[in-house]
Amino acid sequence: MITAGITAFPVCHHFYLINYSPNQPQSTNNPYLCRQTPHHMSEKILVIGANGQIGTELVAALREINGADAVIASDLKSPVYNMRKNSGPYEIVNVLDKDNLHHIFDKHQPTQVYLLAAILSAVGEQKPRMAWDLNMAGLLHVLDFAVEFKVEKVFWPSSIAVFGPHSPQYDTPQYCVMDPNTVYGFSKLAGERWCEYYFTKYGLDVRSLRYPGLIGWRANPGGGTTDYAVHIFHQALKTGQYECFLSADTALPMMYMDDAIRATVALMNAPADSVNIRSSYNLAGISFTPAQLANEIKKHIPDFEISYAENDPRQAIADSWPKSIDDSYAQKDWDWTPGYDLPKMVEDMLVNLKDIV
């Protein structure tokens, strides 16, 4: 699972972080980064939920762009290995603890906040009240403090889980019937409405993306319905076999994490008057089935075998989601285009995981 714009920087016409390394030292020769100016040096970017699958990648990218000291990583627990190694400010933060969260805002006076803390779809169905409380109350706390402390920009991720069984399944449009049937889905849909409300009522510059399933090699997934598309690579390299919890022909929208980070940064770098959607933008990468993914892996690992479990509860969740996404608004408003297709993603995953697994 994997993700990329920040107003503080003059935006390069083609801003790519596809090949960045979280362990790469700062370099003025890096072709992907724009030159900093004194104003950029004053950015203070708070990332909440930094230990997660997106957070570990995003913190590394933001620190490479803005400098390590400008990005405050935070999570419920101590920093993961990559965060310790790539040192920079770190705080223990619980978004449900208003006093603790208020203290962090007051201490750091962030100019930008990325709220990534959430309970995902599959885990959310096991702990529905906890998922609702974390996903909703956490967002409202951050929005309130962003208004109070005059934060310039807030990023909050939504998901394709906002769509439901009556949404169009192919090329699902930006605006359509949305009847999610999971706690994760309707917490994200409610969150979208709150984000637009805070923009309209308080002028808070909130920006959001409806992420598809995210696939990456640098961090483990966090309990979502699309996690098979990461697990399959680990098992292919470890054992040459994988039992998939979704059926062979379950098509879902997916995205390589490098593209997701790049899209996040691109949206946050876009001029405010180009951001015409304040609920959340549809975002598309690649759509494929487990069988198609397995066949692509077999081109690199010919003996790889896949089997399919029956009656997994995640199948019902996947069946209610879109099979492909129309992201024409993102293309038009801030020039979004993905960089990875299925063969390129599979090759990159296997190359990077082979020395880790």
Catalytic residue annotation: 184
Instruction: List, in sequence order, every residue forming a beta bridge with 92; answer none if it has no partner.
Output: 75
Distance, C-alpha 28 to centroid of its chain? 27
Total length of the chain = 357
Q: In the chain, which residue ranges form alpha helices assigned H by DSSP?
A: 38-41, 53-66, 81-85, 98-108, 121-126, 128-132, 138-148, 183-202, 228-238, 257-269, 290-298, 313-319, 328-334, 342-353
CA 272 from chain centre, in angstroms, equals 21
Residue 22 C-alpha from the chain's centroid: 16
- Cα–Cα distance between 148 and 101 in angstroms, integer? 12
| CB burial readout 325-347, b (16+ within 10 A) else e | bbbebbeebbebebebebeebbe
